Copies of this chain bind each other. A is one copy, B any other.
Amino acid sequence: MPHSVQDLLAEGVRRTDEALERLLPGPDVLPHSIHRAMRHSVFAGGKRLRPLLAMETARAVAGSLPAAAADLGAAIEMIHTYSLIHDDLPALDNDDLRRGKPTCHVAFGEATAILAGDALQTLAYQTLSQLDCPADAAVQIVREVAIATGTGVGGSLAPGMIGGQVMDIEGEGQKPTAELVEAIHRAKTGALITVSIVSGGLLAGATAKQVAHLRAFGERAGLAFQIVDDILDVTQTSEELGKTAGKDTATEKATWPAVFGLEASREQAASLIRDAFTELDEFGPAADNLKAIANYLTERTY
């Protein structure tokens, strides 16, 4: 097992990229344009945070890294990437740069970008259906991922990723309330982070009780990460971020610092992470990697 956070992050990127390289059609597979567009965005230099959380959760539950964990992580990264491609489109956020590179529609045109996003979602579910694990675990993972990335089914359930994107668009230009900002953050980014953790546990055969603790950990940590992202958008330059800084403020997006102020936001992120860690007591030292990653992500320079 790697010892430093830097080693963990590097190993996560390596394993995820190896799986993505194997699972995505090559740039010369017909039709070329869409496969090149998919690869452009998938290999644009992501930190592979979600796959890393899936893999390290699976390792914490199983005691060693399950063979299928990298493919699970790759599938989640495909979904993350599809959501970024569509979010960047002119009709949505209209972003030209992502991680310092031209966004998919800038490089390949809007039609191809829309279809490349669609195809990444499709390939993610194909990948989940081909995971080397018992069929009932695979079906549970498909269900958890779909619910976490949907619009929210039934009034009582929290909306998923797409629901969060819609709330974000609808909220633009309005004065953000604390309630709305938290709902958007939990849905738009928190749900996918949480399901990365939950599905890693399911892949490793976690009990229902373990899954409940992992879900609670993911919900708290996911919200903390997004608060930190909001803080970074205010405090860092475009060069440091690899995207247009201050954009959230300029478009009056619902952000945490806009509602609570910078200092309170920092305190709340730290408090959420402390609460999140108590959910990992169940797993003892096996969860040390997960804690190290969560600490690293909430202690980024800001």
Residues of chain B with a CB closer than 8 A to A165's CB: 115
Kindly state whether residue A106 has any CB partner on chain B within 8 Å.
no
Give min CB distance, A21 to chain B, whole Å.
13
Tell me whether A91 and B114 are in contact (CB under 8 A).
yes
Tell me whether B25 and A119 are in contact (CB under 8 A).
no
How many angstroms from the CA of A147 to the CA of B119 in the assembled complex? 10
Residues of chain B with a CB closer than 8 A to A58's CB: none
Tell me whether B114 and A114 are in contact (CB under 8 A).
yes
Binding stretch for chain B, among A11-19, A130-138, A210-218: A130-138
Q: In the assembly, how many copies of this chain are there?
A: 2
Convert A228-251 into 0s and 1s, putting 1 for each residue whose CB lies closer than 8 angstroms to a CB of B: 000000000000000000000000
Residues of chain B with a CB closer than 8 A to A160's CB: 122
Convert A214-228 into 0s and 1s, putting 1 for each residue whose CB lies closer than 8 angstroms to a CB of B: 000000000000000
Contact status of A31 and B114, CB under 8 A, knowing A129-B139, A151-B25: no
Interface range on chain A (Cβ under 8 Å from partner): 35 or more
Binding stretch for chain B, among A62-70, A166-174, A279-287: A166-174
Contact status of A25 and B152, CB under 8 A, knowing A114-B89, A159-B31, A162-B122: yes
Give min CB distance, A141 to chain B, whole Å.
8
How many angstroms from the CA of A25 to the CA of B35 in the assembled complex? 33
Kindly state whether residue A126 has any CB partner on chain B within 8 Å.
yes
Tell me whether A170 and B33 are in contact (CB under 8 A).
yes
Give min CB distance, A171 to chain B, whole Å.
10
Contact status of A92 and B121, CB under 8 A, knowing A34-B166, A129-B143, A152-B30: no
Residues of chain B with a CB closer than 8 A to A97's CB: none
Tell me whether B170 and A31 are in contact (CB under 8 A).
yes
Tell me whether A117 and B118 are in contact (CB under 8 A).
yes
Contact residues of A: prevailing secondary structure? helix
**What 4 pairs between A and B have smallest CB-CB spacing?**
A126-B146, A91-B110, A129-B143, A135-B135
How many angstroms from the CA of A138 to the CA of B83 in the assembled complex? 25
What would 10 more interface pairs be, CB under 8 Å, given A31-B152, A126-B153? A30-B167, A31-B170, A83-B118, A86-B114, A91-B114, A117-B118, A118-B118, A123-B151, A129-B140, A142-B142
Contact status of A155 and B91, CB under 8 A, knowing A121-B122, A135-B136: no
Tell me whether B89 and A31 are in contact (CB under 8 A).
no
Tell me whether B121 and A29 are in contact (CB under 8 A).
no
Kindly state whether residue A111 has any CB partner on chain B within 8 Å.
yes
Residues of chain B with a CB closer than 8 A to A142's CB: 125-126, 128-129, 139, 142
Kindly state whether residue A257 has any CB partner on chain B within 8 Å.
no
Tell me whether A155 and B29 are in contact (CB under 8 A).
yes
